[in-house]
Amino acid sequence: MTQTSGGRASIAARCNEAARRGVRVGLSLAEAQALIDPRVRLRSGDPWVEELSEERDLRALHAVGMWLMSRFSPVVALDPPDGLFLDVAGTERLFGDENDLCRAILGGMHRFGLGARIAVADTVGTAWAVSRFAQTPRTIVDSGGEVAALSDLPVEALRLPDQALADALRELGVERVSQLMDLDRDRVAARFGADVGLRLDQAT
């Protein structure tokens, strides 16, 4: 999936096969195509390339959300461009436990041909962070384990309002959530505004 800006087409999203071949979000289309072995292209043809459509992706996300609502949770919320929140309190017992529920959801996504990552946590902030930045695609965070789950994750995992804020923290050597937790909250608020502390509180 490409996105064109200033006449340059770059990768905005890629399938699992492209990821295995080293294609990364942000590469130019030419760089990405150069990673595909010519023998593969002779056998299978050129890789499929399509321009990103936010409207189409939102419709697809809504469709997945409706499917999840019909199978796994009565409460599903969209988190565009690529996320969904489910309230699974109590519903996990219908599948066995939380691990069984996660396996069922990921299995359904796989059957649809969709890659997915999932996390279960007591807070929305931790679930969002762990689902996107943990090393494994399926994570259950024990109640009260939010701080431990977040500590080694990058500061971007806190849903900061913009990348510039994360970049400013990194310039000071604050790259991990644990490093941010060690700082004086009043000084952080004075320098970076209240959003950093708010996001930390929402996660923990």
Q: Tens digit of pLDDT for each residue in 34-62?
A: 887 777 666 777 778 888 888 999 999 99
pLDDT tens, position by position, 146-155? 999 999 999 9
Q: Are 30 and 7 in contact (CB under 8 A)?
A: no
Q: Taking each helix axis from N to C terminus, what angle separates 163-171 and 195-203, rounded to the nearest 10 degrees?
A: 100
Q: What angle do CA 88, 107, 130 make, to 5 degrees?
A: 55
pLDDT tens, position by position, 54-101? 899 999 999 999 999 999 999 999 999 899 999 999 898 899 999 999
| Average pLDDT score over the chain | 90
pLDDT tens, position by position, 119-156? 999 999 999 999 999 999 999 999 999 999 999 999 99
Give CA torsion, residues 14, 18, 19, 22, to 10 deg: -120
pTM, rounded to two decimals: 0.80
Q: Could you tell me whether strands 2-5 and 83-86 are parallel, antiparallel, or unpaired per DSSP bridges?
A: unpaired
* pLDDT value for 114: 87
